[in-house]
Amino acid sequence: MNTAENAPRNTKKRGNGEGTIFKSQRRNRWVVACYDYKGIRRTESFKKKIEAEAWLAEQIAMRMRSKGTYVLKPKETVEEFLADWLISRRHQIRPNSYRSYDSAIRNFINPYIGMLQASTLTEGDIEAVLNTLADKGYGHGSIVGVLRTLSKAYNDGMRKKFQLHNPATGVQMLSMKPIVSRAIPARDLDQLYATASESPYDLARLMIGAEIGIRPSEIMGLMWSDISGVELSMSVERQVQRVKGMPLHFAETKTDRLGPIPLTERQMAILVNHHRHQMLNRANWKFDTGVIFPNKVGNLQDETSDKEWIRNLCIRAGVPLYTRYQLRKTAFTNFLKGADIGTTKAFSGHTSTKTLEDHYITPESSAVREAANRAEKALLEDQKARKAQQIKSIDIKFGRENTL
């Protein structure tokens, strides 16, 4: 036995699978022995102990990676992981999505689980956050936003080999229903139009929202050059967006449309009157951006002032406070009265009829009643026809077909 080769070791005894490092007095080198990622025992020697430790750490990492147990940053917190993830996705997601993720992380995730280790986050940790938010009165949308943010971040982390699992996958969503806004009832819509008719701006803004139904950010991005008086049409080419640290600016629309939106002569007349009035009242403008609905100084208008517009209009009309998106739902609900679902889908710019049916079309009770009456009438007529056919069949069977 070579006593020099097995001299007393200065290192702390390692556990099974952690490898061995010792100083060979005969060779005057540090010797490392371990099983590699293929399960083969390997031995290497190094002049310096730090080199031996680095090689051993690399072999263990490779072995763990091959078994799916390796995490690049095992001590990284949820807050650190999400911060790195969000900044890495800044050019792959839309600004609105970025703001939504950022808000969920800052307001609902970091305060509760941001200090936990990202690699060991569990389904139970996430469900505890969801329950806490529900106890504090947060709505369905906020809670779903937390789950979607975590799920997206961990899916990306797994794809890039930063994380080994997605703890959001098995989380059971709370049994709470979302608050779904509906189309504006016809009586209240009439009141809004009556009040809006006092102002060319109000009437044009209401008409675009409640009849054309494009997104509020797209309405803010409409320019007079998008209107064709000859073809009676309107193109939707852009939307107005705000990105953190940047002023309002134009951006691409969320979805592409097949072509211009047709306008009626009445709708065109409303826009022409608004344009005429706008040209006569632009003395206080400092900018001329060419948009149809600018702010008070002619610049791009943000969502805050546009939300204030619909709120003030509802107050003046004496109706409940409706939102801008309820105007959009009203447009598609009313359009469906004169078109099939496929045509309504094309008009709305949506790619899915299910999305349109589930979230945007809310028929009034009178329309539902009329449909129910038609269905009942059809049912009774079918029952009557089947009964008559049964009687005829019985008469034929007994040879009394001509007795009727």
- Quickly list DSSP for 279-341: HHT-TT-S----BSS--TTSSPPPHHHHHHHHHHHHHHHTS----HHHHHHHHHHHHGGGS-H
* 204 and 322 belong to one structural domain: yes
Length in residues, the chain: 404
The H or E element that residue 261 is part of is: strand 261-262
In the structure encoding, which two tokens stand for residue 320, read together? 């409940």
Q: Return the CATH number at 204.
A: 1.10.443.10
Flag whether 334 is in a domain.
Answer: yes
- Examine the domain organization and report whether 242 and 288 are in the same domain: yes
Residue 332 lies in a domain: yes
CATH code for the domain in which residue 121 is found: 1.10.150.130
For the stretch 347-400, pLDDT in tens is: 776 666 666 666 666 655 555 556 666 666 777 787 788 778 877 777 666 665
Clarify whether residues 208 and 300 are in a common domain: yes
Q: Which of the listed residues 49, 70, 91 is the one where a domain comes to its end?
A: 70
Q: Are residues 208 and 261 in the same domain?
A: yes
> Is residue 169, in this structure, part of any structural domain at all?
no
- Structural domain includes residue 172: no
Tell me the per-residue pLDDT of 17-68, one tens digit each, with 9 for 90 and over. 678 899 998 889 999 998 876 678 888 999 999 999 988 888 777 676 555 4
Judge contact between 5 and 30, C-beta under 8 A: no
Q: Do 399 and 277 belong to one domain?
A: no
User: Contact 222/236 with Cβ under 8 angstroms?
Assistant: yes
CA–CA separation, 24 and 3 (whole Å)? 10
- Which of these three, 70, 89, 122, is where a domain ends? 70
**What is the pLDDT, as a whole number, of residue 18?**
77
Residues 192 and 103 in one domain: no
Q: Domain check: are 192 and 323 in the same one? A: yes
User: Are 352 and 372 in the same domain?
Assistant: no
* CA dist., res. 216 & res. 327, Å (int): 9
Contacts of 206 (CB under 8 A, 6+ apart): 192, 193, 196, 313, 327
- Position 132 scores a pLDDT of 94
Query: Are both 248 and 133 inside the same structural domain?
Result: no
Any domain includes 351: yes
Residue 387 structural domain: 365-403
> What 3-state class would DSSP assign to 154?
helix
Q: What is the pLDDT of residue 105?
A: 96
Residue 326 in any domain: the answer is yes
Q: Identify whether 271 is part of a domain.
A: yes
The residue out of 344, 359, 374 marking a domain boundary is 359
Residue 173 located in a structural domain: no
pLDDT of residue 350: 64
Q: What is the pLDDT of residue 209?
A: 95
DSSP letter, residue 91: T
Same domain, yes or no: 193 and 315: yes
Full-model pTM:
0.62
Both 207 and 273 in one domain: the answer is yes
Write down the pLDDT at residue 11: 46
What parts of the chain have a pLDDT lower than 50? 1-11, 68, 401, 404
Query: What DSSP designation does 4 have?
Result: T
Same domain, 100 and 121: yes
Looking at residue 218, its pLDDT comes to 94
- Count: domains in the chain: 4
Token code pair at residue 311: 């709120």
- Which amino acid belongs to residue 181? S
